[in-house]
Amino acid sequence: MPKQTLNLFKLHEAAPAGGTGRMFIKGNAEDTICNSPLADSHLLSLAQASTEQADIIAHAAQEAFLIWRNVPAPKRAQVIKTIAKHIQKNSDSLARLMTVEMGKPFWEAKAEVAGVINTANYAASLFHTIGGGQFPSGRENVELSEKWHPLGPVLVVTAFNFPYALWAWNAFIALICGNSVVWKPAPQTPLCAIAIQQVIAEALKEHPEAPEGLLSYIIGSNDDVAIPLVNNPIFPLVSATGSTPMGLAVNKAVSARLGRTILELGGNGAALFTPSANKEQALRLAFFSATLNSGQRCTALRRLLVHESLFTEITNRLNNAFNSWPVGDVYQEGHRLSTLVDEAAAQRFNTKIESLRKDNVELFTSNVELPNEGHYVHPCLALLDKDAPQPQEETFGPLLYIQPYSSLDEAIEKHNAVPQGLSAGIFSNDLNEVHRFTSVGGGESGVTMINDNTGGPEVMVAFGGIKNSGIGSEKGSDSWKQYMRRQSIMTNYQNNQPSDMGINFK
Ligand code: UN1
């Protein structure tokens, strides 16, 4: 099965470590080994790109930018729509490759590819709306306005858990704004990047006006490729998704050259399960929120704060849900416990569970039988005493802390008592409670879900975290502004206009 999937994109030992749209280059640095976590099987060895090759790609993006910024936005939209059409045509194959390369269940992988297409169509539609406004001047015959200009080549660095979506959220918005893009994918998912770039190459054949270098990618080590690119002043904006330490390092490097960053980093989200909630719906959504992609989402629900009147019942029912969660067969429809991305991820997860056990935290570990192959872990519910401090770290896997609370204020305080602030939730049908949670002094998070799955929201709104979860936002609302620079313009449209700002030009 994995080999057949690789054949869909002609992925073999000579797979290209970089590309500038229609053209691809073979890497000339050391090999990286691509494995599938499904059966821990070797897929291929891929020659990575060197620092010199990264530099060539960066310069190609710079050349492309100089052309693309002058292409009118409706024409840019056409290119994006064509890319979306080709992704749609290949969506099953792209999803299948994701399943093979990082283990995400096929139905979730398909949902991700559908999200990529949505993002492209949304970005294309922005050509109607991006732009500046006019402002009243304090002087006669003077007009104040603003123009928005593209920034330049945008460097996009992505994490393994959404191999296409994290790139798409940035790339399509960057493109419609008139920028070019260079993508450095996660070390665990280079093949997904190569595959989607092949799809893009097909799409670009329909658009000779799209310059080479418009949408590039490069696969290489941190030292050879990622760090030199992050430090490269060709990129006025670096948008990176990953851990908080990675984000801090990127931010330090980019701000040292006065560049901009968008950082989408770790989460540690909590949801409140209140007495007024629709219990059945809330249980189902809490379970899904904690376990989609086997908990490998920074938006995953990590801490469920349950009103004390419901605590025993909800704990028992979630424990049942964890125990009856089907395992394996990632190509079947339906929610499955799947493998974590690699051995190191499984080890980190198991080490965390061991340390909780040593600290005498009460654990409900599911006793489902795990497949012999792959990096499966036992999903775990960790019961926290009412007064226990909040877990401060994110554990990337199917671990859910559950803790009772007595009052809404107490629950909000617990919710906020972590360094992260990405995705939060409340299950409640009490308007006052919901309002209190989402108002000033309520739940601190970039995204709040009311009676819904915690996750990235629909593309039309912005997605981004606060506190240690990041800077800036991607996708909708006015996120596009981060991919552009504003120019303020004062027009004096009469000769001999005297100033009323204290200086007389006469
Ligand atoms: C989603 O939850 O739908 O890892 C997307 C994450 C984010 C993306 C979330 N980088 O959860």
Q: What is the mean pLDDT of residues 356-375?
A: 93
Q: What is the DSSP string of 382-432?
A: EE--TTPPPP-S---SSEEEEEEESSHHHHHHHHHSSSEESEEEEE---HH
347: pLDDT strictly greater than 90: yes
Given a contact cutoff of 8 angstroms between Cβ atoms, the answer to whether 402 and 314 are in contact is yes
Confirm whether 298 is a catalytic residue: yes
| Mean model confidence pLDDT for the chain | 95
Residue 71: what are its φ and ψ, rounded to 5°?
-80, 125
**Domain check: are 437 and 480 in the same one?**
no
**455 occurs within a structural domain:** no
Distance 138 CA to ligand 1 centre (A): 46
Extract the runs of DSSP E, i.e. beta strands, from 259-322: 260-264, 269-273, 301-307
**196 occurs within a structural domain:** yes
Could you tell me the residue range of the domain that residue 33 belongs to?
2-145+177-226+474-489
Given a contact cutoff of 8 angstroms between Cβ atoms, the answer to whether 254 and 185 are in contact is no
Rounded to two decimals, what is the model's pTM?
0.96
**Domain check: are 222 and 188 in the same one?**
yes
Which candidate in 101, 298, 433, 444 is catalytic?
A: 298
Which of 104, 116, 162 for a ligand 1 pocket mutation test, highest count of atoms within 8 Å of Cβ?
162
Q: What is the mean pLDDT of residues 471-476?
A: 96
341: pLDDT strictly greater than 70: yes
| CA dist., res. 20 & res. 29, Å (int) | 18
**459 occurs within a structural domain:** no
Dihedral through CA 319, CA 324, CA 328, CA 332, nearest 10?
Answer: -130
Distance 71 CA to ligand 1 centre (A): 32
**Domain check: are 217 and 299 in the same one?**
no
**288 occurs within a structural domain:** yes
| CA dist., res. 143 & res. 147, Å (int) | 13
What pLDDT does residue 91 have?
98
**Domain check: are 323 and 420 in the same one?**
yes
Which candidate in 264, 433, 444, 474 is catalytic?
A: 264
CATH code of the domain covering residue 329:
3.40.309.10
Would you say the CB of residue 161 lies under 6 angstroms from ligand 1?
yes
Sequence-separated contacts (24+) of 457-466 with Cβ below 8 Å: 459/115, 459/118, 459/119, 459/122, 459/169, 460/122, 463/169, 463/264, 464/262, 464/264, 465/264, 465/265, 465/267, 465/298, 465/420, 465/421, 465/422, 465/423, 466/421, 466/422
Tally of structural domains, the chain: 2
CA-based R_g, the chain, Å = 24
Q: Classify residue 10 by its DSSP letter.
A: T
| CA dist., res. 407 & res. 411, Å (int) | 6
Q: What is the mean pLDDT of residues 390-395?
A: 97
What pLDDT does residue 3 have?
85
**Domain check: are 83 and 197 in the same one?**
yes
Would you say the CB of residue 453 lies under 6 angstroms from ligand 1?
no
**167 occurs within a structural domain:** no
**Domain check: are 331 and 294 in the same one?**
yes
**Domain check: are 442 and 336 in the same one?**
yes
**Domain check: are 443 and 480 in the same one?**
no
pLDDT tens-digit profile of 219-264?
Answer: 999 999 999 999 999 999 999 999 999 999 999 999 999 999 999 9
Nearest atom, ligand 1, residue 300 CA:
11
Would you say the CB of residue 445 lies under 6 angstroms from ligand 1?
no
CATH code of the domain covering residue 140:
3.40.605.10
User: Quick check: helix, strand or coil at residue 304?
Assistant: strand
**Domain check: are 73 and 213 in the same one?**
yes
What pairs with residue 403 in β-bridges? 305
Can you give 54-110 as a three-state secondary structure string? Answer: HHHHHHHHHHHHHHHCCCCHHHHHHHHHHHHHHHHHCHHHHHHHHHHHHCCCHHHHH
| CA dist., res. 475 & res. 340, Å (int) | 27
Residue 418 binned pLDDT confidence (cut-offs 50, 70, 90)? very high
Confirm whether 264 is a catalytic residue: yes
Would you say the CB of residue 297 lies under 6 angstroms from ligand 1?
yes
Domain boundary among 435, 450, 465: 450
Given a contact cutoff of 8 angstroms between Cβ atoms, the answer to whether 474 and 134 are in contact is no
**237 occurs within a structural domain:** no
Nearest CA to ligand 1 atom 7: 298
64: pLDDT strictly greater than 70: yes
**321 occurs within a structural domain:** yes
496: pLDDT strictly greater than 70: no
- The encoded tokens of residue 409 equal 């204020």
Which of 157, 268, 297, 341 for a ligand 1 pocket mutation test, highest count of atoms within 8 Å of Cβ?
297
Q: What is the mean pLDDT of residues 276-304?
A: 98
What pLDDT does residue 501 have?
64
Q: Residue 377: which residues within 8 A CB-CB, separation 6 or more?
A: 294, 340, 346, 349, 350, 353, 370, 397, 398
What pLDDT does residue 498 have?
59
**Domain check: are 99 and 214 in the same one?**
yes
Q: Classify residue 158 by its DSSP letter.
A: -
pLDDT tens-digit profile of 11-53?
Answer: 988 899 999 999 999 999 999 999 999 987 899 999 999 999 9
**Domain check: are 71 and 205 in the same one?**
yes
Say which residue, 499 or 440, is predicted with more confidence: 440
pLDDT tens-digit profile of 146-190?
Answer: 999 999 999 999 999 999 999 999 999 999 999 999 999 999 999
- The encoded tokens of residue 33 equal 């080994």
List the single range of 231-240, 277-286, 460-469, 487-496 with lowest mean pLDDT: 487-496
pLDDT tens-digit profile of 422-457?
Answer: 999 999 999 999 999 999 889 999 999 999 999 888
Q: What is the mean pLDDT of residues 275-284?
A: 98
What pLDDT does residue 440 have?
87
Distance 501 CA to ligand 1 centre (A): 50
**155 occurs within a structural domain:** no
Q: What is the mean pLDDT of residues 369-392?
A: 96
Helical spans, DSSP H, in 296-362: 311-323, 343-358
Q: What is the mean pLDDT of residues 133-149?
A: 92
Q: What is the DSSP string of 21-63?
A: SS-EE---S-EEEEEETTTTEEEEEEEPPPHHHHHHHHHHHHH
Which of 112, 119, 161 for a ligand 1 pocket mutation test, highest count of atoms within 8 Å of Cβ?
161
What pLDDT does residue 445 have?
96
499: pLDDT strictly greater than 80: no
**Domain check: are 321 and 362 in the same one?**
yes
Nearest CA to ligand 1 atom 2: 455
Domain boundary among 450, 465, 498: 450
Q: What are the Cα distances from residue 346, in Å, to 338, 342, 375, 390, 398?
A: 12, 7, 6, 23, 11
